[in-house]
Structure 1
Amino acid sequence: MARTSFDTKGKRSVDPACPYLLVCAGCDWRSSDDGLCMSCPRCGDDTLLRTEYMAKQFTVAPEKSGIFRYGWLPVRREIDGSSRPVVYRSEGLGRALGLTDLWISFSGYWPERGCRMVSGSFKELEAFTVLGRTPQRAGVMVVASAGNTAAAFAAAGGEGIPRLLIVPGQALPVVLAAADGASADLQVLALEDATYNDVIGFSRKVVACTPEFFAEGGVRNVGRRDGLGVVALAAFEEMGTLPEFYFQAVGSGAGAIATHEACERVIASGSADGQSVPRMFLCQNADYPPLSRAWKREPDLGDAEAPLDLYAPELANATPPYLVGGGVRDILRSSSGDMLVAGRTEAAAARAMFEELEGIDIEPAPAVAVAALRDAVRAKLLPPDAKCLLNVTGGGRKKLSTGATAGKPRVWPAKKTDSPDEVAARVLDAFASGSRPHTLAPAG
């Protein structure tokens, strides 16, 4: 296999000047950060790491743009081009649902309101933070995604960090639309007839082929969770208080865990006037809800495959961090939350309703959350005057240009049966050559 010049032996270089510590949720282990640590050396994958910042107070730096106006981010450098969510009090949707104090956190492309996430997804919050945390010359970052996360990593500048994005073939148009032109630091592997879970499995095999690859880390990456936690920080800045109820559609639950952690951090800072964390209501597709089944102790899905035609396929993670320390079960318990589901018909109707009432299109995943919120109001799970935050995790793609950009990333079509070793070799050769992107034939 061809070797590149990545300094893989020097990856784990701890910065003693790091303004935060990594802390294990399951034991007393703590350490400064090397930018790549994903688990506690004692507890392993049984718990999640969290960040403990030296700066304890909630502060905003208004002179900084995008997400970097908030100090609680585990980054070694700031990357240009990020956008924070727009948080506003809803009139149309709130009135239609019978809620007098509904707030919306919108992440996507809505330039009229100052939100410019060109991937159309809140996953940009994590992409900019993860890339800002990752040391340069660490190797090739491998990102497994149902589509939105890959689109976000394609949209964010890599600052010289090579990225291999592995996605289902049907997600390729979304990824290419978000790519910021051709880049020798970006390659995309499109897996034919694949589900999100197929992509996760294949990416693990590719990472195992060579030390020059490293996994982005998913929910175990504190950069991902603290980046997604900006939703809560932006909401607190705009609302002046924490919400009482929080609704979001989830696949792995990383965004919900991040919001819970960020709210706990705001409370610990003394800025929230004795408030409690919001009650977390997390939402999934009715026809494939792994987290909901686990929470309600229903028979699990076993080895069942997620349907390829799910309404919101990004919500179909079959191995979410449910039982790990600090994971989904813990935040649901500590916030007195619940898992909700919504069917295709209800979600599609909610999607149309949101666009009509709020004036912006949204993606299928947040439509599931809107439908679940509507059902929760009807079931009186929250009072009409509740201070509620709805996290709309993607939208505005109708406003995005569909025209050709100045080049596209290199795309590798692949099959689930292709050899991960051969794929890894081709990808490394392409990165080493620095050749400009174009579409290639499948490996094998």
Structure 2
Amino acid sequence: MEKFVPTSYTLECVATGREFEDEGWTLEDRACKTPSLVRARYAKKQLEVRPSEFGLYKFADWLPVRRMLKGSSAPVTYCSKGLGRYLGLENLWITFNGYYPAVGASMTTCSFKETEAYSVCARAAEHEDRVLVVASAGNTARAFAKVCSDNNIKLLLAVPHDNIAALWFAEPLNPCVKLISCEKGGDYFDAIHLSNLALKARGFYAEGGAKNIARRDGMATTVLSAVTTIGRIPDYYFQAVGSGTGAIAAWEANMRLIEDGRFGSNIMKLMVSQNAPFVPMYDAWRADSRQMLPYDDDKARRDAEIIDAKVLSNRRPPYGVVGGLYDALKATDGDVFVATNAQARKAARLFQELEGADIHPAASVATASLIKAVADGKVAKDATVMLNITGGGEQLFKEGKELWYLKPSLVFPLDPSLDDVVAKVEELFK
């Protein structure tokens, strides 16, 4: 394998267009007065895809990385036979992120959150001694835990106690990975609050969520996989959203691919979906509001408890920020759909029957929305459609394995004191 040279890029503020250098972990343009995302502008305008043994880093030309970490896998795109025929779609392409050796998919955490983790952690300096802090509703935590454990990177995870069953692994983790939780009844927003308190401790730094270009450009590899496999930019992109970061990433990848010049000038319609009754972005979009509508905390927690796709329960998504999901939907003439638990479960059964793989609840929500969009005549039968299966193959991967679960080192109340959190997390890494 060739010697890896760090990727060359600059940063651009979406709100102002100002271009500036990355100081190493820049998450925003401090000169900008408006809440805005920043984007990477890569020196290489045409993507050169490396051989498969590079894993995710086959797309390193458009990843803001300084090194390659071991153990990564890239998303796999294939032309659907069963589901496409069932829906009457001539060009349905499935981008599978998970474990499905029959199509060459080998993500052992079974989620596209691996694309984020391998990109974000490779953006950090090799000898970074601070502790990376990540809040998650489940899948993101599993992915970061695996990557950091395998590559000896210090990590503090904050996950709601109700979601820690998602932290399963094929083998015990390196002790450089620690977990803290908010007590039972808390949701993803409570975990974010807890992580923000932990960040006041000495020697801890924020992963950054949607603000981190490495997170978005890691997720964008799903679109890079699809377009380089299909040979053109799709007409439609279907994905379920919790924060909307994956859809923002898809839009950004689309713009880079148009600039590349070899895949057409198509703008994919972003067709994103939420799991009812937890639908704050759907409600805001229906009201044509850039701002999220009021959502009572207790009701939000109850709604998050009801939905199957727990990973879609983000109460403070990057929706209205400049360059966020609202802008992405407007720019692509996109739409937001809703699927109930019952519709998503039915879609999951159908996918397994027709495509041969079990899929995660969030991917089931996306599949249910595709089925509905086709039934409502919103997708032309000859359109090129990309369905982003954001997680799957978990049942297959777990078969015959004795699993190991990461348990919280500390469990905090829903309204913890800053001093208590700081003192205890500092002690964890002594």
Q: Same fold (TM over 0.5)?
A: yes
For residue 161 of structure 2, the aligned residue among 169, 175, 180 is 169
Letter in 1 for 2:329: L
CA displacement 1:116-142 (0-9 Å, x = unmatched): 111111000000000000123251111
- Paired with 1:152 and 1:407, the residues of 2 have a C-alpha distance of 13
CA displacement 1:168-225 (0-9 Å, x = unmatched): 11222221x1375331210011322211111112211221x22422111000000000
- Paired with 1:356 and 1:257, the residues of 2 have a C-alpha distance of 31
Question: For residue 3 of structure 2, what is the aligned residue in structure 1?
Answer: none
More helix by share: 2
1:390 aligns with 2:390: no
Letter in 2 for 1:220: K
For residue 369 of structure 1, the aligned residue among 336, 356, 366 is 366
1:410 deviation in Å? 6.4
1:27 deviation in Å? 1.5
Report SS of the residue matched to 1:256. Answer: helix
- Paired with 2:113 and 2:268, the residues of 1 have a C-alpha distance of 22
For residue 426 of structure 2, the aligned residue among 425, 428, 431 is 428
1:423 deviation in Å? 3.1
Letter in 2 for 1:242: I
Between stretches 37-46 and 262-271, larger displacement belongs to 37-46
> What are structure 2's unaligned runs of at least 5 residues?
1-5
Report SS of the residue matched to 2:45. Answer: coil
Question: For residue 226 of structure 1, what is the aligned residue in structure 2?
Answer: 217
1:262 deviation in Å? 0.8
CA displacement 1:335-390 (0-9 Å, x = unmatched): 11111111111111111111111111001111111111111011111111111000
CA displacement 1:235-271 (0-9 Å, x = unmatched): 1111111110010000111101111101110110112
CA displacement 1:18-71 (0-9 Å, x = unmatched): 610011111143222233111111226611000011111121111642110112
1:409 deviation in Å? 6.9
Question: For residue 157 of structure 1, what is the aligned residue in structure 2?
Answer: 148
- Paired with 2:353 and 2:113, the residues of 1 have a C-alpha distance of 25
- Paired with 2:382 and 2:405, the residues of 1 have a C-alpha distance of 50
Assess, with a 3 A threshold, how the Cα gap between structure 1 residues 335 and 189 changes in structure 2: closer, same or farther: same
1:202 aligns with 2:202: no
1:92 deviation in Å? 0.7
Between stretches 361-370 and 165-174, larger displacement belongs to 165-174
Report SS of the residue matched to 2:148. Answer: coil
Conserved 8 A contact 1:92-1:358? yes
Report SS of the residue matched to 2:190. Answer: helix
Question: For residue 236 of structure 1, what is the aligned residue in structure 2?
Answer: 227
Aligned length: 413
Structural RMSD (CA): 2.0
1:405 deviation in Å? 6.0
For residue 71 of structure 2, the aligned residue among 65, 78, 81 is 81
Assess, with a 3 A threshold, how the Cα gap between structure 1 residues 18 and 44 changes in structure 2: closer, same or farther: farther
1:41 aligns with 2:30: yes
Question: For residue 250 of structure 1, what is the aligned residue in structure 2?
Answer: 241
CA displacement 1:136-156 (0-9 Å, x = unmatched): 325111101000100110111
> What are structure 1's unaligned runs of at least 5 residues?
1-16, 433-444
- Paired with 2:231 and 2:396, the residues of 1 have a C-alpha distance of 30
- Paired with 1:340 and 1:407, the residues of 2 have a C-alpha distance of 34
1:72 aligns with 2:70: no
Question: For residue 442 of structure 1, what is the aligned residue in structure 2?
Answer: none
Conserved 8 A contact 2:179-2:410? yes
Question: For residue 139 of structure 2, what is the aligned residue in structure 1?
Answer: 148
TM-score (norm 2): 0.91
1:379 aligns with 2:392: no
Structure 2 counterparts to residues 245-324 of structure 1, below 5 A: 245-273=236-264, 275-297=265-287, 300-304=293-297, 305-306=300-301, 307=303, 308-324=305-321
Report SS of the residue matched to 1:288. Answer: coil
Letter in 2 for 1:169: H
Assess, with a 3 A threshold, how the Cα gap between structure 1 residues 334 and 214 changes in structure 2: closer, same or farther: same
- Paired with 2:215 and 2:241, the residues of 1 have a C-alpha distance of 15
Between stretches 178-187 and 82-91, larger displacement belongs to 178-187
Conserved 8 A contact 1:97-1:374? yes
Conserved 8 A contact 2:169-2:405? no
Report SS of the residue matched to 2:159. Answer: strand
- Paired with 1:314 and 1:327, the residues of 2 have a C-alpha distance of 19
Between stretches 125-134 and 96-105, larger displacement belongs to 96-105
For residue 87 of structure 2, the aligned residue among 67, 76, 97 is 97
CA displacement 1:255-295 (0-9 Å, x = unmatched): 0111110111011011223x222111010012111111111
Structure 2 counterparts to residues 114-125 of structure 1, below 5 A: 114-125=104-115
Assess, with a 3 A threshold, how the Cα gap between structure 1 residues 343 and 18 changes in structure 2: closer, same or farther: closer
Conserved 8 A contact 2:165-2:405? no
TM-score (norm 1): 0.88
Between stretches 102-111 and 305-314, larger displacement belongs to 305-314
Letter in 1 for 2:423: A
Letter in 2 for 1:411: S
Question: For residue 57 of structure 1, what is the aligned residue in structure 2?
Answer: 46
